[in-house]
Homo-oligomer: A and B are copies of this chain.
Amino acid sequence: MAIHGARGRSGGRPTLEEVAARAGVGRGTVSRVINGSPRVSDATRAAVEAAVAELGYVPNTAARALAANRTDAIALVVPEPETRFFAEPYFSDMLKGVGAELSDTEMQLLLIFAGSDRERQRLAQYLAAHRVDGVLLVSVHADDPLPDLLAQLEIPAVISGPRSAAETLTSVDSDNYGGARSAVEHLLARGRRTIAHITGRQDVYGAQRRVDGYRAALRDSGHEVDERLIEPGDFTEGGGRRAMAALLDRCPHLDAVFAASDVTAAGARQALRDAGRRIPDDVALVGYDDSAIARHMDPPLTSVRQPIEEMGRAMIDLLLTEIADRRPTVSRDLERRQLVLATELVPRTSS
């Protein structure tokens, strides 16, 4: 942990040159050892490593960045205010995966919030200065200009949750379609016949896919899709409550509800209670996200779990590949990479 040994004449930190002198080799050779090049004999490598240890040499990042034109840093950009970042476990889980995958790398992770216009401005400057080798983008809205800025600056980037089926950036997503399917299939398997769906905001691609999955599950099991059973929500509790009330009004005979998020389900539950319907006796309820809310709801809520941590890991993998790819060759034929990870239904007593 401690830095030991003698220093260069100036009292500052040792340089490559000093290590080279100590090991009795040239500058280039030390550089090769430091960077793990295979073109060094074992004896030389050992000598250099000894000199590095004796002097407590640590490479100067700035010099390296200047000479090699890379920063060895990537940014996790959160286009939200800090508050939401801390409030939602989504980010914390993702950060855990990202951190884990990065931990055996030399890469440094920067966390950048871009909630306000001011922060956006700063971020743009930051990216223009190419202060990171790549960017991880989470929770981006459909009309966000950030992805385009990144493309224009030719900065490698990976987005979690593509903006549409035609997303141009490399993306990682969970299987919203399959997740929704499994929720509906679960309800069908439990004998439910009239299954309603409260959707998420339809300008979010993932929410659209959940509707698609809902439809497909019904059709594939020979049921007809009744459009009156699909009610728009907005991922909020209030939205869930209102949507549920509307559904009960329109189709009082429904016996199950698939909500596009746990928070939405919480709102729906309230409306169901107000209408005197028991869960799951009268109406079965399934949510999405498998958040803390689901576990603590009364009754505990069946929900679809997304592998957020794994998504974080995958994003790093893809980003590092992308960064590595663009280094030697000029071939820009990087085909679109879109990774979709499986979800998992977590059954609880609400269904």
With contact pairs A71-B62, A153-B3 given, residues A99 and B82 touching in the complex (Cβ less than 8 Å): yes
Q: With A1-B145, A3-B153, A86-B86 given, can you name 14 additional A-B contacts, CB distance below 8 Å?
A: A1-B120, A1-B149, A3-B128, A56-B128, A59-B129, A60-B66, A62-B63, A63-B66, A66-B66, A82-B96, A83-B92, A86-B92, A103-B118, A108-B131
* Total contacting residues, chain A, CB less than 8 A: 43
Give the CA-CA distance A58 to B120 in the complex, in Å: 16
- Copies of this protein in the complex: 2
Residues A24-58 near B (CB distance < 8 A): 56, 58
Question: Which of A2, A13, A96 has its CB near the most chain B CB atoms (within 10 A)?
Answer: A2
Residues A240-256 near B (CB distance < 8 A): none
Q: What residues of B have a CB within 8 angstroms of the CB of A99 in the complex?
A: 82, 113
Q: CB-CB contacts of A119-136 with B at 8 A, as 1s and 0s?
A: 111101110111100000
- Verify if A95 is at the interface (C-beta below 8 Å from B): yes
User: How far apart are A143's CB and chain B's nearest CB, in angstroms?
Assistant: 15
Question: Which of A62, A145, A153 has its CB near the most chain B CB atoms (within 10 A)?
Answer: A62
Q: CB-CB contacts of A83-97 with B at 8 A, as 1s and 0s?
A: 100100100100110
Interface residues in chain A, defined as those with a beta carbon under 8 Å from any beta carbon in chain B: 1-3, 13, 56, 58-63, 65-66, 71, 82-83, 86, 89, 92, 95-96, 99, 103, 108, 110-111, 113, 118-122, 124-126, 128-131, 145, 149, 152-153
Give the CA-CA distance A156 to B108 in the complex, in Å: 21
Q: What residues of B have a CB within 8 angstroms of the CB of A119 in the complex?
A: 103
Give the CA-CA distance A113 to B124 in the complex, in Å: 26
Q: What residues of B have a CB within 8 angstroms of the CB of A62 in the complex?
A: 62-63, 65-66, 71
